[in-house]
Amino acid sequence: MFSSLFETTFSFNDLMFMLKGAGVTLMLTFWAVLGGTLLGVVFGVVRAVSPWWVNAPLGAVLDVFRSIPLLIQLVVANSFKTIIGIHWSPFTVGCVVLALYMSAYCTEIVRSGFLAVPTTTRRAARSLGLTWRQDLTEIVFPIALRVALPSWIGLTLGVMKDTAMVWWIGVVELLRSSQVIVTRIHEPLFVLTIAGLIYFLMSFPIARLGARLEKRWREND
């Protein structure tokens, strides 16, 4: 009876199928993080320096992406793409929606980092003759990056896990591939344990990279 606990019909081909799904997860994460970060930096700076009549409408639009559950955004976007004549694949839809979803949160991370720079520091920089552009690139951005990095790392890891929702629109990523195998061999505990381990192996380097950067910055202070 004890030996039966270690018996499984999980095969090498099943593992390869899950690793292929993990590759899809990584690609979704890459494009979502790239697009979401670029948009978040632009929107974050705009929200930090713009007057209220620009800030308020932009904030309201981004609130939509933060307020509506990601699953609903994915399903609605995938359903309406054909109505408006956009023939994107489910993978592309997933990347776009995840990028917009991440940008809504990344905007606030960037804005908070931007506003964390003391006004006196910026005034001192300008009094030394630095231009507005030099003030941003040499004073504000380096300080804001240190403030925003931990939250950005957490957001990136969260988006990686949120990619599991794209299976609702037909994308076979890591979790969906695991569910396919569970349906076939009926060993959910074993298969999902392997899936969790793969998620950990994908997430751990990102978390350690963030911790390493923070440590290096502290040592250089």
pLDDT digits (tens, 9 = 90+) for 130-142: 787 888 888 888 8
Burial of 8 (0-12, 13-18, 19+ CB in 10 A): exposed
Distance CA 37, CA 117 (A): 20
Task: Tell me what pLDDT residue 87 has.
Answer: 87
Q: 3-state DSSP call for residue 81? A: coil
How far is residue 198's CA from residue 63's CA, in Å, rounded to a whole number?
A: 32
The rounded distance, in Å, linking the Cα atoms of 212 and 221 is 14
Q: Rounded to the nearest 10 degrees, what angle do helices 70-80 and 90-115 cross at?
A: 130
Q: How far apart are CA 32 and CA 173, in angstroms?
A: 14
How far is residue 72's CA from residue 69's CA, in Å, rounded to a whole number? Answer: 6
The pLDDT, as a whole number, for residue 210 is 85
pLDDT class of 89 with cuts at 50, 70, 90:
very high
DSSP assigned state of 4: G
Calculate ∠ Cα 96-102-107, nearest 5°: 125
For 18-55, how does the pLDDT look when each residue is reduced to its tens digit (9 = 90+)? 999 999 999 999 999 999 999 999 999 999 888 888 88
Domains along the chain?
Answer: 26-220 (1.10.3720.10)
pLDDT of residue 221: 61
